[in-house]
Amino acid sequence: MASNARPEADPLVIFYLVVRRLSEALAAPLSDADATLQPNPEASPAKWHLAHISWFFETFVLRDHVPDYRLFDAAWPFLFNSYYDGEGERHARPRRGMLSRPTLDGILAYRRHVDSAMAAAIPGLPAAVRELVTLGLNHEQQHQELLLTDILAAFAENPLAPAYSTPKPQGRGDAPPLEWIEGRTGIVEIGASNEGFAFDAERPRHRTLLHPHALASRCVTNGEWIEFIADGGYRTCTLWLSDGWAWATGEAASAPLYWRRNEANWQRFGLDGVQPIEPAAPVTHISYYEADAYARWAGARLPTEFEWEAAAVHHDPSSGNQLDDAGAFAPRPAGAGGALRQMFGDVWEWTASAFLPYPGFVPAEGTVGEYNGKFMSGQMVLRGGSCATPRGHLRASYRNFFAPHHRWQFTGLRLARDG
């Protein structure tokens, strides 16, 4: 689909530049040392995130579809490939934090090189390759959230408890009363339509049967979680799945990740540093195991991803507390209005659903087909986005997924019950 339009007038070029600039803005507060840290094997250094998405565009768009393009550095694909086996050998993920070189400045130069070539190439790319660019930009938005959560994990290791951002008022007061909202029943359609962008795991759209159920009107709060702790929730084995109890005892878990005690009060460490626990805000940084145990303690259960999506289709996915210029980098208490609150933003909500293919799922052809399908084992689905998800990135059909013990993301829960 060749075009004679000026590159800056192409909507895809505009989208490309907006997304790329946000990534660099998120990295702007970081030193080279900050950007090199890898706090655990599940996280990645900030500069690796910045370089990996540049590698994605360089490899799958510029290298394969722009004849005169030359790699920025022929050695770097080995460093910044993530998990694409079709692209050959790569640097071991647990050792990404050992890459003191290239420097952060060097990676920013790499991004400028790729961005210049992409802005020039996009208007002349055929439709199928433009779709690949859109995939890459949505992939970069995922890495923007990962960049923030991985920096939080890194800063949490520092005894000085450095803050990434300036604290913003969260609002005080009580959480709205928890109400039970009747969910849809019968046969419903689930998944993304064929119109517009969606990840392959969101398709094909299909029908499923929902039994009578109700969803909680808001997410579980910090104050409610404190009651769970005080009632011995972390010490009562009958509340936990077998794997969950093994995890909880092995990790000596006694509170959400990043919570700490200060005399008689709970505090939490966040991107805004050490702050008092806000009782009305949604609890976050909990594993699937913790969410499931809490639900049992509360006499409820976790919703299925299909129950959640059937309710979310009536809500604006760009609403709520998400990442933008006004973002708080922390979950906020539920506001007034609406029967179901916090469906988008604040915290990713664990569901009771395993991350499995929908009926008729077929991965994309080629190496990019490794994007989601190869991870459909041992993962649980989360829905709804978080305070670190870029605004505009979400859909009701969006499926996030993590292993059940993971909790360094902004993960929380909403209760469900039968009947």
Q: Answer yes or no: do 209 and 350 share one domain.
A: yes
Q: Answer yes or no: do 28 and 61 share one domain.
A: yes
- What pLDDT does 8 receive? 62
Q: Answer yes or no: do 250 and 397 share one domain.
A: yes
Q: Answer yes or no: do 143 and 187 share one domain.
A: no
Residue ranges of the chain with per-residue pLDDT less than 70: 1-8, 170-172, 325-327, 370
Domain count, the chain: 2
- What pLDDT does 337 receive? 75
Contact partners, residue 178, CB within 8 Å, separation at least 6: 216, 217, 218, 415
- What pLDDT does 280 receive? 96
Q: Is 55 part of any domain?
A: yes
Q: Answer yes or no: do 385 and 251 share one domain.
A: yes
* Spatial distance between the Cα atoms of 189 and 209, rounded to a whole number of angstroms: 9
Q: Answer yes or no: do 148 and 67 share one domain.
A: yes
Q: Answer yes or no: do 124 and 215 share one domain.
A: no
Q: Answer yes or no: do 363 and 398 share one domain.
A: yes
* Spatial distance between the Cα atoms of 191 and 307, rounded to a whole number of angstroms: 12
Contact partners, residue 100, CB within 8 Å, separation at least 6: 36
Q: Answer yes or no: do 374 and 290 share one domain.
A: yes
Q: Is 88 part of any domain?
A: yes
- What pLDDT does 231 receive? 98
Residues of the domain holding 242: 180-418
- What pLDDT does 2 receive? 43
